[in-house]
Amino acid sequence: MFSNFKESFKKSDGHIIPKEIVESLNKRLPDGLIYKRVAKDLVIAVPSEGREIKMSANIKIPESLRIYKPEQLFEILYRTQTELKIDKNVPVKINGIDIALDEAALAPLIASKNTEFFLQPRAFPSPYELEFSGNGHSRTLTMQRQPLADLNKTLIKNIDNDGLQVSMKVLEDTETLRFSFNFNLQIVHSIDELLSVLFVYQAFIQGDGQVAGMKLPPAPTSNVERETLNDLLTFWNKMSSVEKKLGVQFPLDLPLSDEEDIWLMKLYSSFVKEEPFRENIKYTSITFAPPENFDKDRLISQAAGFTFLQPENINLIGVDLELFAVMGVYNLRISDIIPRKKEQGKLECIVENEFDQKSFRSMRYFKTYEEALEFQKNIRALHEARDLFSIFEKDK
């Protein structure tokens, strides 16, 4: 497992060391050793009689490896994938014969200085794919063994950039396999992918998950973790329904900003629940284009409400949306109406908020002007609109 050295030579240029050079180099070796070509441009010293090689060298072992017995050295180096530098100032022994380290392995056709030698373990096995499934979804992850400084445990984790994160720990002394599941939603790219990750994760904490077709028992989780998962599934299922209603796909870049969060809830209310939402808001003035035969004196000092239909173009999570908003503003008292200086033909309504009733705004968005215009004909729904958060939380 550790019979060869790792040397910082340059890559081979394809030349093979001639037999004559090898024979010449042999003359420099102590009796009992000869050079054997192990690569095109590399020779190492071996016993001349072809016996089994026994080699010893001076190496420095880091305290972090915690090796308590000499026979544990090679095993712990493999388990931790650690390379140990060999002290080139101290001769090595090959079957009891002393030889300088830089003479034990040579690349005579390559010019190299400050050559260093390492004791190197064999590499871990290649990564492999494993399917994790549940709740009608599946994630195929790339698993690979990980370094672990423990003589009785083996750690395997997924190494791909997937929202579902899985680790497996083999307890070798009891022949037990333990799974650990987690998720990282900041690396998912779509709502569909996010929901797939959460549904598979949920399956494993509920005891419904399968690994390569084998069902696992429930993974231990706290009540807080379960509630958080349920909240996430509820929210993103609703956002998935928004995507379907609008015929778009949002390229996720989590976490969402507060503004993005609110906008998604507004779209959910407008297009999935199909009802307007209410927001408490204070106005000091409202600008509007007056209709024909408009009599401002009839409105001054009166309680009033306004209804608008206007186009709104928004960019939400990288998606451009062209919408139409029907908006009603209520519980206002008009104190004055004056011409709008910067917008010819428009009036500015100076308003006061009613003291006994809070002013509020109700809105609903539509995909087409015709839909918005039809809704505006009956404004009762705007008067009776509920708070946005009440609408969103109702389905929990």
Q: Report the pLDDT value the prediction gives residue 289, as an integer from 0 to 100.
A: 75
Q: How far apart are CA 117 and CA 91, in angstroms?
A: 12
Q: Name the nearest CA neighbour of 134 among 68, 40, 192, 211.
A: 211
**Which positions of the chain have pLDDT values less than 70?**
1-15, 110-114, 296, 298-304, 353-357, 394-396
Strands 347-353 and 319-339, how do they pair? antiparallel
What would the pLDDT profile of 305-319 be if each residue is shown by its tens digit?
Answer: 778 899 999 999 999
pTM: 0.78
Distance CA 216, CA 198 (A): 17
| Three-point CA angle 307, 381, 350, nearest 5° | 25
Give per-residue pLDDT as tens, 149-165: 999 999 999 999 999 99
Can you give the pLDDT at residue 5? 40
The contacts of residue 112 (CB under 8 Å, 6+ apart) are 8, 9, 10
| Omega cis (within 30) before 217 | no
215 phi, psi to nearest 5 deg: -75, 135
Instruction: Compute the distance between CA of residue 47 and CA of residue 36 in angstroms, rounded to an integer.
Output: 9
pLDDT at 396: 58
> Which residue ranges make up each domain of the chain?
5-119, 128-239, 272-393
CA-CA distance, 96 to 102, in Å (whole number)?
A: 17
Continuous H helices in the chain: 19-26, 73-80, 101-104, 191-206, 223-246, 258-267, 369-376, 380-383, 388-393
Q: What is the sign, positive or negative, of the torsion defined by CA atoms of 39, 41, 42, 47?
A: positive
pLDDT at 48: 86
Q: For position 8, what pLDDT does the model report?
A: 34
Specify whether the CB–CB gap between 307 and 379 falls below 8 A.
yes
